[in-house]
Amino acid sequence: MKSQLALLLALTLLSSSRAEEARFFCIVGPVATTITAFGADCYLTWTNTPTNATFTVQTTSSLLSPIDWVDYVQVPATNSITTLQLCDLSPPSGMALIPAGAFTMGDTFSDGSVELPLHTVYVSAFYMDRYEVTKALWDDVYLWAISHGYGFDNAGLGKAANHPVQFINWYDMVKWCNARSEKEGRVPAYYTSAALTSVYRTGTNDLPESFVKWNVGYRLPTEAEWEKAARGGASGDRFPWPDVDTISHSRANYYADTNSYAYDVSSTQGNHPTYATGAYPYTSPVGSFAANGYGLYDMAGNVLEWCWDWWDDSWYSNAGATQNDTRGPAGPLSDRVLRGGSWYYGPDYSRCAFRSRSNPVVANDSVGFRCVRGL
């Protein structure tokens, strides 16, 4: 049964700040819930009789059609009182709140063998860049960094200031995350040892998990964080939009191939005709397509995005894959994880569950990144 109180309160709070993003919320679950608080800080509190049950918060932008409700976040309730921050009316500039909760990670369509078995992962709340890091943003931080003790393997390229930066490797990106933090007066995330005293600014350090301050500064998303964010709160969909499980050039910048993939329904083939101009790369300005349910853009296509995790073919079968806030297999291994598809690759790469990999020293024109920050 849906809770109407949550709907009305959420609408009042959100529409008073940003009417164009007004949203309704409700709670559904195995039993009824009683909402006890929903404040201007967007923290929702409810009571529920059973514990160790999972409740679903759903959302819609209109009450006119009952079919418009989509999942927003899965919330495991471990006691009789549950508190959750649904949203943030004043998030950090250019970022969106990804609420804490569980989700089913992996491929529900049997499209990829390394995306199985399906498994449930709980991820704590975090902020994520709404857009892939642009060449303009990269340059702004990069120029500051090289005059403050940072060294990079690559200076970075981009088709235009508002296109994603590319031709940077994994090491460049994590050092850049630290520089972005320091430039803004924040505590950096990455260090050169487990003592967490010497900031990582130069070289190609493979950074085990113990070298990271996870809840401060900017960093790369874990693979689980990336997939949870890409799904936008919806469950079991192939792509970052919940209305259909197909893709076309109206949805993303990718290489259309309707002959090989039944779920590719694009009327135009090959590279996106709007952006396949001039020399490579055929990237698009960030935000050229609709955002997903969490307000994130280009989670399918444009450029692949580096994640924190080392790559392991059988990782989803490992017990560590289901741990809360899992950070992937212990390294060092040979490759790090890539997610999200790109202008160069076909529709299969743009699926939410798709996993790819590359050696962290590799830099090319189809790979970029975006940052996250802990709360």
Q: Is the dihedral of CA 316, 320, 325, 327 positive or negative?
A: negative
Q: Cα–Cα distance between 257 and 262 in angstroms, integer? A: 9
Per-residue pLDDT of the chain (375 residues; tens, 9 = 90+): 454 444 444 444 444 344 445 678 889 888 888 899 988 889 999 998 877 889 999 988 777 766 688 899 999 998 899 999 999 989 999 999 999 999 999 999 999 789 999 999 999 999 999 999 999 999 999 999 999 999 999 999 999 999 999 999 999 999 999 999 999 999 999 999 999 999 999 999 999 999 999 999 999 999 999 999 999 999 899 999 999 999 999 999 999 999 999 999 999 999 999 999 999 999 999 999 999 999 999 999 999 999 999 999 999 999 999 999 999 999 999 999 999 999 999 999 999 999 999 999 999 999 999 999 999
- Token couple for 180: 């972005």
Backbone angles phi, psi at 175, to 5 degrees: -65, -40
What are the sequence ranges of the domains in the chain?
Answer: 4-129, 131-375
- Please give the model's pTM, rounded to 2 decimal places: 0.94
CATH 3.30.1330.200 corresponds to the domain 131-375: no
pLDDT computed for residue 348 by the predictor: 98
> Rounded to an integer, what distance in angstroms lies between the CA atom of residue 331 and that of residue 34?
45
Are residues 345 and 355 in contact, defined by beta-carbon separation less than 8 angstroms?
no
Q: Are 42 and 13 in contact (CB under 8 A)?
A: yes
Of 131, 213, 220, 128, whose CA–CA distance to 175 is shortest? 220
Look at residue 23 in the predicted model and tell me its pLDDT.
78
Question: Residues 6 or more apart from 158 whose CB is under 8 A from it?
Answer: 134, 135, 136, 138, 164, 165, 166, 283
Largest CA distance in the chain: 62
> Which pLDDT score is estimated for 20?
44
Q: Which of 132, 149, 164 is nearest to 282 (CA)?
A: 164
| Cβ(61)–Cβ(22) below 8 Å | yes
CB 239 within 8 A of CB 224: no
Q: Rounded to whole angstroms, how far apart are CA atoms 306 and 63? A: 38
**43's tokens:** 């923290």
CA separation for the pair 279, 91 (Å, rounded): 37
Say if CB 166 and CB 305 are below 8 A apart: no
